Structure 1
């Protein structure tokens, strides 16, 4: 007696799966010759390379970036084009140029941190390039343009001065060195202004020692700034207030010698005279030495 086959409860599922698989295969096979009939080749449709990722010529991308930057003022769009040059052609001369242009476009867009990052990367990768001086200058002016009001912390100002000095040190004969020197004077003036602001505050509080310490910084470190005249006059006032007459006389005398037509000298002169003395320079005073050091005394 033949033993009947056991019925498996899973067989109908696999039968259906098999029929569906055969049907799918049949559809693919039938579809293949229909490519010329407008249905499209399934392989090309689902497995072909995405054309959006096809590399484009480096010079084409670079010039498109220049067009967006110069003609359309589309800085963000330009940056994307320059970055694409670096991505698709990382070791080309176009990539080098694009990196610098990305820094410049970021500067134009006011994205100073991005500008500094790209410019520093350029300097690191291409230190011997003729454009390295410009990259260093971009670092400097990105910091310079962020110099805050004198009432705020001047850390950014100090960074700007350091970067500008680096331009002069590394590229003394470049066109950027001359501009850097002028900007350094502006930044130093800002630092002096910060000291003056704090010094005036101490004067208002009658903290004359605290005020003298601030005005002293201006006199000893920032003689070439526009704040030095007032600093000397304030030192005259503060020293007279605490009875250190000889230093008050020296401050007034140095002020009169270097800035005889200054309104601040008139104030300092009258103040010393009201104390029964004349402006008189003490050659051993730090005030006198500071000005002689810079050829101003």
Structure 2
């Protein structure tokens, strides 16, 4: 009996050790391998969605890319891609916010000319919304700020980057916007004239001439000023305006134009 007991205890201990080992998982087994998309995969996926016109889904993918790789190779490019998606998805406020963030964080980025061009486009489209909804509302209460901001962005582009591939189109749009803004001022001036606010009409015409000197609307602005000063009995100012009109537009009949407010003075780009 004395020899059997130790062997029994030894066997029991060995069985307990085997059981314990079999119930404990190896540290390697507990490691969970997570498959994560690479930066390249996420960027390419976002671009594919963008090409398909899925602007919102594309931006969701770019947001994932920004979150996972905030300092990666695509961190700056993604900001512009998201801004473009917002622009195409008709979200001008979000688009401009994304562009401003990019410009503030990357002032010397080689794509700054594109950022300015995109900023001009966003505001340009917004100005078209202004043109389609402004009439027949009270012109004195409206301000085509989007058109001005678009012009400012395009002007900065062509001034800072005259050789940019975006400069020619920006210049074309600037010329169009000058006509839009000059026509707006003329429309407001006529609006005042029709309501008997002749001094306001003359002042608005004068503003147009000084601000948009090389536009075709200058001729009509001078004619409106002549009629306004005549209504006010300001003969000296009237005659001065006549001389300027005759010198620059010798065959003009603008001084006798009907001051009817035309709600179709603009043409879409």
Q: Which TM-score band (shorter chain)?
A: 0.7 to 0.9
* Residues 231 and 86 (structure 1), Cα distance of their counterparts in 2 relative to 1, 3 Å cut: same
What TM-score does the superposition give when structure 2 sets the normalisation length? Answer: 0.72
Q: CA deviation at 1:218?
A: 0.8
Higher Cα Rg: structure 1 or 2?
1
Deviates more, 1:170-179 or 1:109-118: 170-179
**Could you tell me which residue of structure 1 aligns to residue 220 of structure 2?**
230
Could you say what secondary structure the match of 1:130 adopts? coil
The one of 125, 131, 154 aligned to 1:145: 125
**Could you tell me which residue of structure 2 aligns to residue 239 of structure 1?**
229
**Could you tell me which residue of structure 2 aligns to residue 207 of structure 1?**
197
Unaligned ranges ≥5, structure 1: 1-28, 36-42, 272-297
Q: Is the 8 A contact 1:120 1:136 kept in 2?
A: no
Could you say what secondary structure the match of 1:145 adopts? helix
Kindly indicate whether residue 66 of structure 2 is the aligned counterpart of residue 66 of structure 1.
no
What TM-score does the superposition give when structure 1 sets the normalisation length? Answer: 0.66
* Residues 267 and 172 (structure 1), Cα distance of their counterparts in 2 relative to 1, 3 Å cut: closer
The one of 167, 177, 181 aligned to 1:177: 167
The one of 74, 77, 92 aligned to 2:72: 92
Could you say what secondary structure the match of 1:223 adopts? coil
The one of 132, 136, 149 aligned to 2:112: 132
**Could you tell me which residue of structure 1 aligns to residue 183 of structure 2?**
193
**Could you tell me which residue of structure 2 aligns to residue 165 of structure 1?**
155
Indicate the RMSD between aligned Cα atoms, in angstroms. Answer: 3.0
**Could you tell me which residue of structure 2 aligns to residue 286 of structure 1?**
none
Q: CA deviation at 1:217?
A: 0.5
Could you say what secondary structure the match of 2:126 adopts? coil
Aligned residues: 226
**1:89-126 Cα distance to aligned partner (Å, 9 max, x none):** 12122222222211111111111122112222222233
Deviates more, 1:176-185 or 1:207-216: 176-185
Unaligned ranges ≥5, structure 2: 1-18, 259-269
Distance 1:198 1:215 in 2: 9
Q: CA deviation at 1:146?
A: 1.0
Higher relative CO (CA 8 A, sep ≥ 6), structure 1 or 2? Answer: 2
Q: CA deviation at 1:76?
A: 1.0
Could you say what secondary structure the match of 2:237 adopts? helix
* Residues 267 and 87 (structure 1), Cα distance of their counterparts in 2 relative to 1, 3 Å cut: closer
